[in-house]
């Protein structure tokens, strides 16, 4: 399992999440207290939005705690919207192409979780990609593949529905091919305007997701694990939920798998 | 020999020097037309100034042309003052600590050239460092060592004099220890406000230095080799000169070695 | 284009090809005199046979000339059969998984050349892989894909025919999908007992291949470019040929594309 | 703290210590059960003796568990004497030059432990090096520096005395400069013929050291932590001891600090 943190609000130095807090992402890379895998040393990554619609991205394969570039970049760059990730490899070798966040056009995506039996499902899932999205697959992780499928299923127009359809597609495929299915999926993604996060699992053990205020002026942080011990500052998002941070503030919606061919509206806003 | 480019002016995307021009720094890393060493594949680095007095820095050991992080960061970051460097190793192994630019406090520094017989001079030069600057030495290059000596000699108050004193000190040390001396030195350095460059050699073969206008609004670029074939756009800076880019525009001064213990003013402005 | 060297004979230190000769592979990585691309700085690799049927392998993405591990390993390891490669990327990012030699079971393979329009052919070629060989694809190069297809087509039983069938398959696929075809292919491969090399191109410009004696006791070296200026020591292998080094010495055979479904014997021994 | 394992005996595949046992070195890099630092992800290294008097060496900065080169090399190479190390950085950045084992001429050395206040002692210790050994210092660790001092103090002729003198020198220097001293030091070193290990601390908490038989024919393994749960197979070496593996089998001697200028014999064999 991996650890991640994302922010949307007034410009904030990236290090305010990545290296400064008591349980900063770098601290969590050494010792995550609520994660299945206690060390997240298989690389890290940042995606941040600035003067262009596309995000900048920086990824590398060293443990986050020892990378001097990460420390300097996180210290130097101030941005209103960013995603940060430390990786403990489940699927895919330790190489830059397998480090989160993944970026496609103006979208960025990162993920904690996994698809059971992915090695047996991978080939069929890749064949589901159309040529344009197949050509955008650089690594070998389940995470990148789910992101590209979501882009193909319409992420630009209806991000949460597209993501719900990917999960529905994978669960059905696994049932058909393997006879059982389990997708554990806590992810954040953004188009540079809004920031989305999802917490879901086929079973009762969805990877954790928390939200908390950050910064002086109405910003929010979404994290796989709280960054501080101040338990009142962090709200646990229940499994089966999506969080939307936008100019309308923070909203939470129900979230569950959909079938890609479904055409009816996918989500009702819960708040 | 290495290749480098520096900019001061209105905010500019780093890629405008590093990857976009016909003879961008990345192109030069593959094939520099005026350099002694035709390939500069031993790493690269960036230092840029933004919202803090200290620069951000990003360095790595891969060839510049193949580093996806460099491409994304240069594409994403817009800054009014930056230094960029591609390295062909002369002294010091290929590792991040030996990649330019070097940073100390608010200052950044990068260099093309070399000290003859550096391996025999290195130990005495390092002993010349006081404890504070010795503790700031992370790599093994002559370039970093000259930069730290310059900081120690007073770079903050009188940057060109301090640099001239380092060269004078090294030439005298080499004469004393070896019986001959040659320092080839074309360097750029900055405190985040002004941008300085120097072209000097003990002999008649100082590494090249050019200046040219860049951007829409009075910005300038200083480079070891022109970034475009437009020969009218680039002015060759003569050997024995320093260039100062500040709020007063571009100024050129004579530059030559000084002894560290000299106290009289070192440079007369030539323009 | 890449550069490579392979050896079969009495045990020889790997450095005898990789770093010691006047035009050693490391020298060629800096400046290849007969190659299209003059710098081969996008990684390197070794595969060598020793006490096990499977080869050992060492690959990395730094330029060969600056990698201290490569120097030490090539200096230390003595082996009767090895393949060594320096890479200039044509297809596939600079990462270890894309560095030659590729290894599958007891076989090793390395390649200089390319498939025209590979980006358009890649997906169909990957779908041609059966599940077992698809699961063994870690990188994104045309070279690895041709190797895996050859394994699938029967490389263990009839290595040259299987390789000829891969080329025939790719040429036909390209004609069908693109309307034209060009495969330039100079490769070496081994099962740890015999050493094979092939020189072929659809057009008249097959990448070069040379053979020369090496070592004291009847060993041979196969190289993409001679390792010394001693022109009498190196024999150029003509295009459309295969070389087989085995306990029977050095043999040369005609080599040309075959269709995978052909069943008649593919090659007549020419010597 | 780091973890290490060394072997001397009949040729053994390196993986028999590095990746195969229940608590192999790679497993320990993920989770060391008796170490102060639970993760050792700041690089690894091997030194092994073969057909030459000098050892081969392979070091890299990735976590040991994810390095495909390490797996292949450890699987392929069979050797009668080798040292293997996984690193958790205490002093010195994460870079290859700081990864153990260190090699000088025919000698190799690796270490678990640290010198208190090393940052304040480092400069004086480096000045104690003569020019030849100063020129052989590539990294910035206390470990490499102690090894080079031991070489200078006569490691070739009397390895344990030279190492004892380094510890005595450092303790005295620290007392003189700081007013207190603590050196924790569990190390292994070899000239390619014998294998030595030392367990020592100024205080009562010397890092652990164990010995156990390995292989079929009288080989021994020295480790910082047992490689298996078979507690009867491993003997804990007491603090204040040296172990010597040679053609005379396994011997244990008392070990304690000496002053470099002392001339009397340093060690009495205890067994």
Distance from CA of B118 to the nearest CA of C (A): 20
CA atoms within 13 A on the CB side of C95: 20
- For B85-96, what is the mean pLDDT? 78
Enumerate neighbours of C (3 or more CB pairs within 8 A).
Answer: A, B, D
Q: Determine contact, residues B96/B61, Cβ cutoff 8 Å.
A: yes
End-to-end Cα, chain C, rounded Å = 30
Whether pLDDT at D8 is above 90 = yes
Q: 3-state DSSP call for residue D145?
A: helix
CB pairs below 8 Å between C and D: how many? 60
A96:C95 CB<8 A: yes
Q: Pick the residue from chain D with its C-alpha nearest to A43.
A: D62
**CB atoms near residue A204 (< 10 Å):** 6
Both tokens assigned to B41: 């594949």
Position C31 scores a pLDDT of: 65
Query: What is the number of alpha carbons within 13 Å of residue B66 lying toward its C-beta?
Result: 28
Is the pLDDT at C164 greater than 90? The verdict is: yes
Q: Do C73 and D58 touch (CB under 8 A)?
A: yes
Return the residue of B nearest to D139 by Cα.
B139
Q: Which of B93, B119, B131 sits opposite D97 (nearest CB)?
A: B93
Testing the interface with D: which of C67, C77, C139 to mutate, by most D Cβ within 10 A?
C77
Of the residues A36, A37, A41, the best mutation for testing chain D's interface (the one with the most D CB atoms within 10 Å of its CB) is: A41
Interface test with D, best of A32, A33, A39 (most D CBs within 10 A): A39
User: What is the rounded radius of gyration, in angstroms, for the C-alpha atoms of chain A?
Assistant: 17
Q: Who among B30, B89, B93 is closest to C39 (CB)? A: B30
Q: What is the dihedral of CA C72, C78, C79, C85, to 10 degrees?
A: 30
Question: Could you give the CA distance from residue C54 to residue C34 in angstroms, rounded to a whole number?
Answer: 33
Using CA atoms, how far apart are residues B64 and B71, in angstroms rounded to an integer?
A: 9
Q: Residue C198: which residues within 8 A CB-CB, separation 6 or more?
A: C160, C163, C185, C186, C187, C188, C209, C241, C242, C243, C255
Average pLDDT score over residue span B78-90: 89
Cα–Cα distance for residue pair C60/C42, rounded to 1 Å: 9
* Cβ <8 Å between B66 and C39: no
The answer to whether residues D48 and D55 touch, using CB atoms and an 8 Å cutoff, is: yes
Out of D41, D61, D93, name the one closest to residue A39 (CB). D41
H helical segments located in chain D: 15-18, 25-30, 68-76, 118-128, 131-134, 142-152, 159-177
pLDDT above 70 for D55: yes
Strand partners, A251: A244
In this prediction, residue B211 carries a pLDDT of: 96
Report the range of poorest mean pLDDT among A27-36, B204-213, D131-140, D183-192.
A27-36
- Which residue's entry shows tokens 């550069």? C3
What whole-number percentage of chain B has pLDDT above 70? 90
B68 contacts C93? CB cut-off 8 A: yes
For residue A70, give the chain B residue with the closest CA. Answer: B58
Cβ-contact D262, D165 below 8 angstroms: yes
The nearest alpha carbon in chain C to A129 belongs to C123
Q: Dmax over Cα atoms in chain D, in whole Å?
A: 50
Q: What are the chain C neighbours of A127 within 8 Å (beta carbons)?
A: 127
Q: Which two tokens stand for residue C143?
A: 């070279």
**Residue B42 at interface with chain C, using a CB cutoff of 8 Å:** yes
Least Cα distance to B93 among D245, C232, C63 occurs for C63
Contact D50 C75 (CB under 8 A): no
Quickly count: other Cβ atoms within 10 Å of residue D7's Cβ: 28
The whole-angstrom distance between A61's CA and the closest CA on chain C is 11
Instruction: Domain B3-269: give its CATH code.
Output: 3.60.20.10
Rounded Cα distance, A9 and A16, in Å: 13
pLDDT at B264 over 60: no
In this prediction, residues D183-205 reach a mean pLDDT of 97
Cα distance from B37 to chain A (closest Cα, Å)? Answer: 27
- Summarised one tens digit per residue, pLDDT across range B34-83 is 444 556 768 899 999 999 999 999 999 888 888 899 999 999 999 999 99
CA distance A82 to C193: 54
Question: How many angstroms separate the CA atoms of A12 and C172, rounded?
Answer: 56
Q: Are C204 and C184 in contact (CB under 8 A)?
A: no
Mean pLDDT on C83-92:
80
Per-residue pLDDT tens over the stretch B124-163? 999 999 999 999 999 999 999 999 999 999 999 999 999 9
Chains that touch A (3 or more CB pairs under 8 A): B, C, D
ipTM associated with this complex: 0.89
Residue-level pLDDT at B36: 45
> What pLDDT sits at residue B185?
97
DSSP H/E element including C74: helix C68-76
The closest of C73, C75, C24 to C226, measured between CA atoms, is C24
Mutation choice for B interface testing from C26, C62, C89, C92 by most B CBs within 10 A: C62
Alpha carbon distance D215, B251 (integer Å): 74
Spans of chain A, pLDDT less than 50: 33-36, 262-271
Contact residues on chain C for D50, CB-CB shorter than 8 A: 76-78
* Contact predicate A220/A8, CB 8 Å: yes
- How many CB pairs (< 8 A) connect A and B? 60
**Closest residue of D to A66, CA-based?**
D94
Residues in chain C with CB shorter than 8 Å from the CB of D62 are none
Chain A stretch 125-154, residues whose beta carbon is closer than 8 A to a beta carbon of chain C: 127, 131, 134-135, 138, 140
- % of chain A surpassing 70 pLDDT: 90
The answer to whether residue D34 scores a pLDDT higher than 60 is no
CB < 8 Å from B in window 48-77 of C = 61-63, 66, 68
Determine, for residues D93 and B93 on separate chains, whether the beta-carbon distance falls below 8 Å.
no
Contacts for A129-138 with beta carbons within 8 Å, 24 or more apart? A131/C123, A133/A104, A134/C123, A135/C119, A136/A104, A138/A97, A138/C93, A138/C140
Residues 6+ apart with CB under 8 A from C90: C1, C114, C142
| Nearest neighbour of C95 by CB, restricted to A97, A119, A123 | A97
Q: Tell me whether strands B219-223 and B210-214 are parallel, antiparallel or unpaired.
A: antiparallel
pLDDT of C89 reads 66
State residue B93's pLDDT score. 73
Burial state string for D69-104 with b = 16 or more CB within 10 A and e = fewer than 16: bbbbbbbbbbbbbbbbbbbbbbbbbbbbbbbbbbbb
Over residues C64-78, the mean pLDDT reads: 92
Q: How far is CA B5 from CA A60, A71, B86, B251, in A?
A: 25, 24, 9, 18
* Distance from C-alpha of C19 to C-alpha of B10, rounded to nearest angstrom: 49
Q: Which among D95, D123, D140 is the nearest to B96, CB-wise?
A: D95
Report C:6-35 residues touching B (Cβ under 8 A): 30-31
Residue B214 distance to chain D (closest CA, Å): 37
- B16 to A57, B59, B159: CA distances (angstroms): 18, 18, 27
Q: Identify which of B13, B52, B56 has the shortest CB distance to residue A73.
A: B56
Model pTM? 0.89
Q: How far is B84 from chain D (nearest CA, A)?
A: 22
pLDDT value, residue B91: 64
Nearest alpha carbon to residue B143 among B43, B241, B253, B234: B43
Contact B131 D123 (CB under 8 A): yes
The residues, ordered by sequence, that sit 6+ positions from D51 with a Cβ below 8 Å of its Cβ are C13, C76, C78
Cα nearest neighbour of A37 on chain D: D30
* Residues of D whose CB is below 8 A from B138: 93, 140
Closest by Cβ to B138, choosing from D93, D119, D131: D93
C99 and B CB contact within 8 Å: no
Q: With contacts defined as CB-CB under 8 Å, which chain C residues touch B62?
A: 61-62, 94
Q: Where are the domains of chain B?
A: 3-269
Q: How many CA atoms lie within 13 A of C6 on its CB side?
A: 33
Residue B31, CA distances (Å) to A217, B64, D212 in order: 49, 12, 56
In B148-239 the beta strands, taken as DSSP E runs, fall at 183-190, 195-201, 210-214, 219-223, 235-236
The whole-number pLDDT of residue D19 equals 87
Tokens of C215: 């070592």
In angstroms, what is the C-alpha Rg of chain D? 17
Q: Is the CB of C123 less than 8 angstroms away from the CB of A131?
A: yes
Residue whose pair of structure tokens reads 């969805």 in the numeric block? A206
Q: Kindly report the average pLDDT of chain C as a whole number.
A: 90
Beta carbons of B75 and A60 less than 8 Å apart: no
> Which residues of chain B make contact with D127, given a CB cutoff of 8 A?
127
Tell whether the model's pLDDT for residue D25 goes beyond 60. yes
Q: Which residues of D touch A31 (CB under 8 A)?
A: 38-39
How remote is the C-alpha of A188 from its chain's centroid? 3
**C138 versus D90: which is more confidently predicted?**
C138
Residues 6+ apart with CB under 8 A from B242: B160, B196, B197, B198, B199, B252, B253, B254, B255, B267
Tracing tokens 């207290």 back to the chain, one arrives at: A33
For the segment D255-270, the average pLDDT, to the nearest whole number, is 64
Q: What is the pLDDT of residue B271?
A: 36
**Residues above pLDDT 90, as percent of chain C:** 73
Chain A residue with Cα closest to B53: A76
Shortest Cα distance, chain C CAs vs residue B159, angstroms: 34
Please tell me which residue of chain C has the smallest CA distance to B95. C66
Shortest Cα distance from B251 to chain C (angstroms)?
39
Give me the pLDDT at residue A1, please. Answer: 64
Task: Give the tens place of pLDDT for each residue, D106-161.
Answer: 999 999 999 999 999 999 999 999 999 999 999 999 999 999 999 999 999 999 99
């Amino acid at each position: 399992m991996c650890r991640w943190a994302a922010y949307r609000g007034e410009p904030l130095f990236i290090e305010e999440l990545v290296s400064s807090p008591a349980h900063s992402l770098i601290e969590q890379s050494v010792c995550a207290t609520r994660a299945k895998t206690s060390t997240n040393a298989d690389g890290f990554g940042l995606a941040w939005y600035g003067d262009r619609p596309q995000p900048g991205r920086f990824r590398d394969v060293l443990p986050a705690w020892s990378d001097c570039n990460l420390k300097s970049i996180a210290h130097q760059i101030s941005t209103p919207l960013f995603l940060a990730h430390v990786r403990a490899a489940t699927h895919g070798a330790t190489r830059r192409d397998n480090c989160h966040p993944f970026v496609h056009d103006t979208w960025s995506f990162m993920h904690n979780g996994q698809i059971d039996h992915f090695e047996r499902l991978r080939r069929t899932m890749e064949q589901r990609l159309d040529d344009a999205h197949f050509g955008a697959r650089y690594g070998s992780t389940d995470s990148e593949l789910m992101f590209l499928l979501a882009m193909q299923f319409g992420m630009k127009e209806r991000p949460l529905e597209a993501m719900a359809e990917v999960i529905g597609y994978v669960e059905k495929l696994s049932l058909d091919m393997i006879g059982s299915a389990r997708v554990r999926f806590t992810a954040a993604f953004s188009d540079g305007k809004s920031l989305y996060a999802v917490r879901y699992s086929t079973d009762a053990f969805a990877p954790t997701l928390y939200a908390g205020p950050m910064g002086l002026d109405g910003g929010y942080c979404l994290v796989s694990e709280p960054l501080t011990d101040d338990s009142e500052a962090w709200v646990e998002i229940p499994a089966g939920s999506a969080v939307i941070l936008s100019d309308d503030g923070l909203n939470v919606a129900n979230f569950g798998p959909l079938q890609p061919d479904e055409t009816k509206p996918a989500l009702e806003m819960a708040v």
